[in-house]
């Protein structure tokens, strides 16, 4: 019996190692999960982009990503193996099984059997929750009479002083990270997305919950943000270190400022709307110009990540995990 088990095990091992590795079904999910946050259309770190077939085959500044038939001579395998793998950066090393998939794919010729799949399973919002979902963001109108609350993939809006049934606003986001009413209280911005898939922003009319406009931005979920004083643009932090300036008008271009080396977890406009204060998981607080889209000053005195920023006409303040407030004169 033990001999039969051994024979069957050897047969399975030979069969598995000889099976063709599918780029679309096996390799692309690894890239999508671990790589495209830094190597995509939005952020081509090292000149490498993995979400496009032609760009993938071209490689980056270090040359081709792989040598056909030679995994041991390939840049990709060199980056994800060794005692301390270079990639994925700031993340756990790939499992042996995932490395084996990449090695076998290259050994078999690095064939592309289909383009990277960008399909995202539709978000399902239950009519009733078995357990109350966590609240990820709250915004209250300046008069204190109207509020909006983000719960996973939907926003609930309600009047504070009456018993009218709250309105539910569904989205196609796996997770909503930020909701905010415009300074005049007429518009509601909702930011979030699906991790390793897309970032998104939706603008609703606060009064009746109808959609005004929507955008998809980048290849990963968006974080916290802040409306410009005129209520026509919102600045939102992203996972690649960039801040996105997203107009309500769908025809207007989205601008971005590459500021940080890690997630941008907090954003605030100055009172005049001319500058941005940002905080990041990279432990820095930065001041940048909205018009010039450039960095003005940087403060790196926090020992831990920054997750909150605020500004008045004279001063900006940031704080985070360390429990220390940092002040920056404007």
- With bands split at pLDDT 50, 70 and 90, how would you rate the model's confidence at 42? low
- pLDDT value at residue 119: 55
pLDDT, one tens digit per residue, over 136-188 is: 999 999 999 999 999 989 999 999 998 889 999 999 998 999 999 999 999 99
Residues near 205 by Cβ (< 8 Å), separated by ≥ 6?
A: 186, 187, 188, 211, 212
Look at residue 4 and tell me whether its pLDDT is greater than 70.
Answer: no
Distance CA 259, CA 212 (A): 29
pLDDT, one tens digit per residue, over 98-117 is: 999 999 999 999 999 887 76
Q: Which two tokens stand for residue 146?
A: 């109207």
What mean pLDDT comes out for the span 193-201? 86
Look at residue 231 and tell me whether its pLDDT is greater than 70.
Answer: yes
Residues near 233 by Cβ (< 8 Å), separated by ≥ 6?
A: 227, 245, 246, 247, 248
Helices marked H in the chain: 2-18, 28-34, 53-58, 75-80, 96-107
- With bands split at pLDDT 50, 70 and 90, how would you rate the model's confidence at 210? very high
Distance CA 108, CA 20 (A): 7
Instruction: Name the one residue in this structure whose structure tokens are 């995932």.
Output: 98
What mean pLDDT comes out for the span 25-48? 83
Domain extents in the chain: 2-107, 135-329
Residue among 9, 26, 40, 42 at smallest CA distance from 94? 26
Mean pLDDT for the chain overall = 89
Residue among 241, 313, 308, 242 at smallest CA distance from 326? 308
Look at residue 19 and tell me whether its pLDDT is greater than 90.
Answer: no
- pLDDT value at residue 1: 44
Q: Do the bridges between strand 167-170 and strand 242-247 make them parallel or antiparallel, or are there none, so unpaired?
A: unpaired
Phi then psi for residue 79, to 5 deg, are: -75, -30
Alpha-carbon dihedral sign for residues 298, 302, 308, 310:
negative
Residue 206 contacts residue 186 (beta carbons within 8 Å): yes
Q: Strand, helix or coil at 258?
A: strand
Q: Which two tokens stand for residue 301?
A: 């005195």
Residues, the chain, total? Answer: 330
What is the SS3 string spanning 159-198?
Answer: ECCCCCCCEEEECCCCEEEEEEECCCCCEEEEEEEECCCE
pLDDT, one tens digit per residue, over 77-93 is: 999 998 888 888 767 78
- Where is pLDDT greater, at 7 or 155? 155
> How far is residue 107 from each of residues 14, 17, 73, 114, measured CA to CA in Å?
15, 11, 10, 18
Q: CATH assignment of 135-329?
A: 2.130.10.10
Does this model's pTM top 0.75? My answer is: no
What mean pLDDT comes out for the span 125-130? 89
Q: Which two tokens stand for residue 123?
A: 């978000």
pLDDT, one tens digit per residue, over 278-317 is: 999 999 999 999 999 999 999 998 999 999 999 999 999 9
Cα 322 off chain centre by: 24
- Where is pLDDT greater, at 91 or 4? 91
Residue among 293, 268, 279, 307 at smallest CA distance from 180? 268
Residue 143 contacts residue 185 (beta carbons within 8 Å): yes
Q: Which two tokens stand for residue 232?
A: 């026509």
């Amino acid at each position: 019996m033990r001999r039969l088990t051994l024979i069957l095990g050897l047969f399975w091992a030979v069969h598995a190692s000889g099976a063709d590795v599918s780029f679309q079904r096996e390799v692309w999910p690894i890239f999508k999960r671990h790589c495209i946050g830094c190597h995509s259309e939005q952020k081509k770190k090292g000149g490498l982009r993995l979400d496009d077939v032609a760009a993938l085959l071209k490689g980056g500044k270090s040359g081709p990503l792989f040598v056909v038939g030679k995994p041991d001579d390939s840049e990709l395998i060199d980056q994800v193996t060794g005692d301390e793998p270079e990639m994925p950066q700031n993340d756990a090393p790939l499992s042996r099984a995932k490395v084996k998939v990449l090695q076998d794919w290259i050994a078999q010729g690095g064939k592309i059997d289909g383009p990277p799949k960008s399909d995202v399973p539709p978000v399902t919002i239950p009519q009733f929750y078995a357990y109350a979902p966590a609240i990820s963001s709250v915004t209250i109108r300046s008069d204190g009479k109207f509020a909006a609350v983000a719960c996973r993939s939907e926003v609930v809006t309600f009047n504070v002083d009456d018993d009218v049934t709250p309105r539910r606003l569904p989205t196609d986001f796996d997770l909503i990270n930020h909701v905010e009413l415009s300074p005049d209280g007429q518009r509601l911005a909702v930011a979030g997305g699906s991790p390793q898939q897309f970032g998104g922003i939706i603008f609703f009319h606060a009064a009746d919950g109808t959609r005004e406009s929507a955008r998809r931005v980048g290849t990963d979920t968006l974080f916290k943000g802040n409306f410009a004083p005129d209520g026509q643009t919102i600045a939102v932090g992203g996972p690649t270190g960039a801040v996105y300036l997203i107009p309500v008008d769908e025809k207007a271009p989205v601008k971005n400022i590459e500021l940080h080396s890690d997630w941008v977890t907090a954003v605030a406009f100055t009172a005049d709307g001319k500058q941005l204060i940002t905080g990041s998981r990279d432990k820095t607080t930065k001041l940048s110009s909205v018009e010039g889209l450039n960095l003005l000053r940087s403060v790196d005195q926090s020992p831990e990540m920054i997750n909150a920023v605020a500004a008045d006409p004279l001063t900006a303040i940031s704080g985070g995990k360390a429990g220390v407030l940092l002040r920056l004169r404007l």
